[in-house]
């Protein structure tokens, strides 16, 4: 399947000379995931995503959209595979990207939700393991996909929990371990048992070892997922490290242990 099969072929577009006031009206009426900005010659010159639109509230209503739009962004070709598009979208740190044809004409927009929906359907018949399930859970970015994977994990007879962790380099090992164990106990993934806590702690230690090698001396912010099943525990942390929090690529780290 290609991007053109899942994209929105009728993206919301505006002229870069329109005002922020008109943009707010459009947001209320259409509630788009993203708004694409074109100049008078219909050339794509900017993009506004849901999260970026939230910052527009501090801008004067008569300011042109061109002053608040994102000017530097990637474009996805309509013939790319879904996985290629997912990689570009993840690296861009935006919820949506414009789609172009081979002649660089704007033909649509694809969002993170479009891609997640397709990947979820694509994997629906594949057997889940604690290791694969924990990666899917850690990489969810909206409540809908998070709930989907939590239910799918439970359907497979596994138990799961999700938490968020952010800390400096000095505190990250402790924060990772404590937050993961607390979340696992709260969601009945493990019991208040020293041996089960030790299993989770060992899995988290695997994650921190990877972090220390790839990003030595850096803290970070991560979404952590824990899945228990088939006699073992799997933990995955997905997020950014240290100074990369502002604009670096997200990374996934994983650990496991027998329980």
36-50, 151-165, 234-248 — most confident range: 151-165
Question: How far is 60 from 67, CA to CA, in rounded Å?
Answer: 11
Question: How far is 22 from 196, CA to CA, in rounded Å?
Answer: 56
Q: What is the mean pLDDT of residues 26-53?
A: 84
Q: What is the pLDDT of residue 182?
A: 97
Question: How far is 226 from 190, CA to CA, in rounded Å?
Answer: 10
Residue 249: is its pLDDT beyond 70? no
Q: What is the mean pLDDT of residues 167-179?
A: 88
User: Tens digits of per-residue pLDDT, 75-86?
Assistant: 999 999 887 888
Tell which wins on pLDDT, 128 or 194: 194
Q: What is the pLDDT of residue 237?
A: 92
Residue 247: is its pLDDT beyond 50? no
Enter the pTM of the model.
Answer: 0.56
Task: Sketch out the chain's domains with CATH numbers.
Answer: 3-117 (3.10.580.10), 128-258 (3.40.1510.10)
């Amino acid at each position: 399947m290609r991007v053109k099969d899942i994209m929105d072929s009728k993206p919301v577009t505006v002229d870069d000379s329109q005002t922020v006031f008109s943009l707010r009206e459009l947001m209320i009426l259409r509630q788009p995931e993203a708004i694409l900005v074109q100049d008078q010659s219909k050339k794509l010159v900017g993009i506004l995503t849901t999260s970026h639109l939230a910052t527009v509230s501090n801008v004067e209503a008569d300011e042109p959209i061109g002053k608040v739009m994102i000017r530097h962004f990637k474009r996805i070709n309509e013939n790319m595979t879904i996985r290629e598009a997912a990689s570009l979208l993840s690296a861009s740190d935006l919820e949506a990207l414009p789609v172009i044809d081979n002649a660089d004409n704007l033909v649509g927009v694809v969002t993170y939700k479009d891609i997640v929906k397709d990947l979820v359907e694509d994997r629906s018949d594949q057997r889940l393991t604690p290791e694969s399930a924990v990666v899917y859970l850690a990489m969810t970015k909206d409540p809908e996909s998070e709930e989907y994977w939590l239910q799918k994990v439970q359907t497979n007879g596994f138990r799961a929990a999700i938490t968020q962790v952010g800390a400096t380099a000095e505190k990250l090992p402790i924060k990772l371990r404590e937050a993961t164990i607390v979340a696992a106990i709260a969601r009945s993934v493990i019991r208040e048992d020293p041996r089960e806590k030790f299993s989770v702690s060992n899995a988290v230690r695997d994650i921190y070892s990877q972090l220390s090698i790839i990003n030595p001396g850096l803290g970070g912010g991560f979404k952590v997922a824990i899945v228990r099943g088939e006699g073992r525990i799997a933990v995955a942390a997905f997020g950014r490290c240290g100074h990369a929090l502002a604009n670096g690529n997200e990374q996934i780290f994983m650990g496991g242990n027998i329980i």
